[in-house]
Amino acid sequence: MGTMTTNKLGGLALTFGPLLAVLAYLLSPGQGLIGGQVDFADPQAGIGVLLANGGIAAITSTLAPIGLIILLHGINTLVEQLRTGQGGSIAGLGRVFLVFGIVAWMVGGSFQAAIAGGNTGAAAGALYAAGFGLNLTGGILSGVAFLLIGLGVSTNANFNRNFALVAAAVSVILLVVNIVVANDTSLQLTLAPVVGVGFIVFTIWSITLGQKLGKL
């Protein structure tokens, strides 16, 4: 077995972490594939789809955090690599935002998992509202994070500048979408496909970063 270098492990994390996270997102009840497309701004609909698909919700709520933590390791390795050249400082700030964004997503996901377990009773509504808010907060913080990371990567000659700028632009779009939904939750269902496409773009970008990082 060959030696697993820091960059090689970081590259694998950038490749497989987001794949696992986006798979969990797409398979989450109410996202379209399972339980149909649900308006999560409607607590009754959101709680209903979680209770009706409790087993799947428990699995996706477990896989998503694992994927995000693996991704975070890859981003950490990427930022350390950037510190040897240009873009390290701004990407490092992005890493801080990403940590808090992932924490918000994980806590929000844990509330959804608790609801899916069917034992929250009258507290389900409050937990759901808190989880919905935390997921929006995670989206906003992560939007800022990937904007900064994309701009940092774009200044480094080791990586594809154009793709990094595309990722930064997508980050701005997702940041705006989350802010808009936070101010008008009735738009959540309408704008949900934009978020899904954005996650797919980030996943592809992360895979290309991982492949390049592993060779450095």
Encode pLDDT of 105-131 as tens digits: 999 999 999 999 988 889 999 999 999
CA 134-43-201 angle, to 5 degrees, is 50
- Residue 86: the pLDDT is 73
Are 130 and 178 in contact by the 8 Å Cβ rule? The answer is no
116 located within any domain: yes
pLDDT above 70 for 1: no
Q: How high does pLDDT run on average in the chain?
A: 93
| 131, part of any domain | yes
Separation between Cα atoms, residue 96 and residue 92, nearest integer Å? 7
Fill in the DSSP letter of residue 34.
Answer: S
Residue 62: half-sphere exposure toward Cβ, Cα within 13 Å? 8
Q: So what's the pLDDT on residue 4?
A: 76
pLDDT at 2 (0 to 100): 56
Nearest in space to 23 (alpha carbons), one of 200, 191, 175: 200
3-state secondary structure of 117: coil
Evaluate whether residue 79 is within a structural domain. yes
Is 67 exposed, middle or buried, given 0-12, 13-18 or 19+ CB atoms closer than 10 A? buried
What tens digit of pLDDT does each residue of 88-109 get? 899 999 999 999 999 999 999 9
Domain limits for position 77:
6-213
Taking the C-alpha atoms of residue 136 and residue 40, their distance in angstroms, rounded to an integer, is: 11
CB 154 within 8 A of CB 145: no
Q: How many domains does the chain have?
A: 1
Distance CA 130, CA 19 (A): 27
Q: What pLDDT is recorded for position 184?
A: 94
Tell me how far apart the 2 most distant CA atoms of the chain are, in Å.
Answer: 55
Indicate the length of the chain as a whole number.
Answer: 216
Looking at residue 88, what is its pLDDT?
87
pLDDT in tens, 21-74: 999 999 999 998 898 999 999 999 999 999 999 999 999 999 999 999 999 999
| 1 found inside a domain | no
The model's pLDDT over 127-170, given as tens digits with 9 standing for 90+, comes to 999 999 999 999 999 999 999 999 999 999 889 999 999 999 99
Does 45 reside within a domain?
Answer: yes
**Helix ranges restricted to H, 117-187:** 124-154, 161-183
Q: Are 41 and 185 in contact (CB under 8 A)?
A: yes
